[in-house]
Structure 1
C-alpha cells in the first residue's frame, strides 16, 4: 500500500493531494455530524429550562420547534445578523427570561398539539 501511495505521489501529485483534502474534509464533517447527533439524541437536552447563554437556535433544537416559531416567540426579525444569547435579547427588549420560558412552553404545547 505504501508503494502505491508513493507511486500516486510521483505520477499524480495534484490528484493525490485533492483526494487527501477531500478525505480530510469528509472526516471533519462526519465527526461533526456524529458529535451533534450524540448530543441531541440524549434526552437530557430536550426541553431544557431556558438560561441566558442559550441562543434561539439552541432553544428551537431543544424544544423541537421550527426556527420561525422561536423567532415569533422572541419577537425577532427574520434575518437578525449574528446569533445572540437569550441574556442579550432580554437586555435589549422588555421581556424577562421567565416570560420567554412561558412563551416557549406555550408554543411547544401548541406546536406539538397540532402535529398529533
Structure 2
C-alpha cells in the first residue's frame, strides 16, 4: 500500500493533491450539513422567541418560513450581510419589540396564506 502511494505521488502529484483537496471539501460540507441537521432537529430551536442577537435568516429557520418573508418585513435588501435584529432596530431607530412585532406579523400572514391555499398535490 505504501509503495503504491509512493508511486502515485511520484507520478501524479497534481492529481493526488486535487483528489485530497476534493475529499477535504466534501468532508467539510458533510460535517456542516450534519451539524445543521442536528441543530435544527432539536425542538427547542423551533419558533424561538425573538432575541436581539438573532439574524433574520436564523428567525426564518426557527419559524420555518422562507427567508424572504423576514427580509421583506424588515425592509432588507439582498446581500445585507449578517446583521442582527438589534442592529436593524438601531439602524431604523425603533425598539426591538417593534421589530419583533413586524416579523411575527409577517410570519403569521405567510402561514395564513398557506393555510388558505391548502395542502399541495400529493404525488
| Stretch deviating more after TM superposition (37-46 or 78-87) | 78-87
- The residue number in structure 2 matching 1:104 is 103
- The residue number in structure 2 matching 1:85 is 84
How far apart, CA to CA, are the structure 2 residues paired with 1:106 and 1:81? Answer: 21
Please list every run of 5 or more consecutive structure 1 residues that lacks an aligned counterpart in the other structure: none
Alpha carbon RMSD of aligned pairs, Å?
1.6
How far apart, CA to CA, are the structure 1 residues paired with 2:91 and 2:103? Answer: 18
How far apart, CA to CA, are the structure 2 residues paired with 1:16 and 1:100? Answer: 52
Please list every run of 5 or more consecutive structure 2 residues that lacks an aligned counterpart in the other structure: 116-123
How many residue pairs align between the two structures?
115
With normalisation by structure 1, the TM-score equals 0.87
With normalisation by structure 2, the TM-score equals 0.82
- Asked if 1 retains the 8 angstrom alpha-carbon contact of 2:73 and 2:102, the reply is yes
Q: Which has the higher contact order (CA 8 A, sep 6+)?
A: 1
How far apart, CA to CA, are the structure 1 residues paired with 2:49 and 2:41? Answer: 17
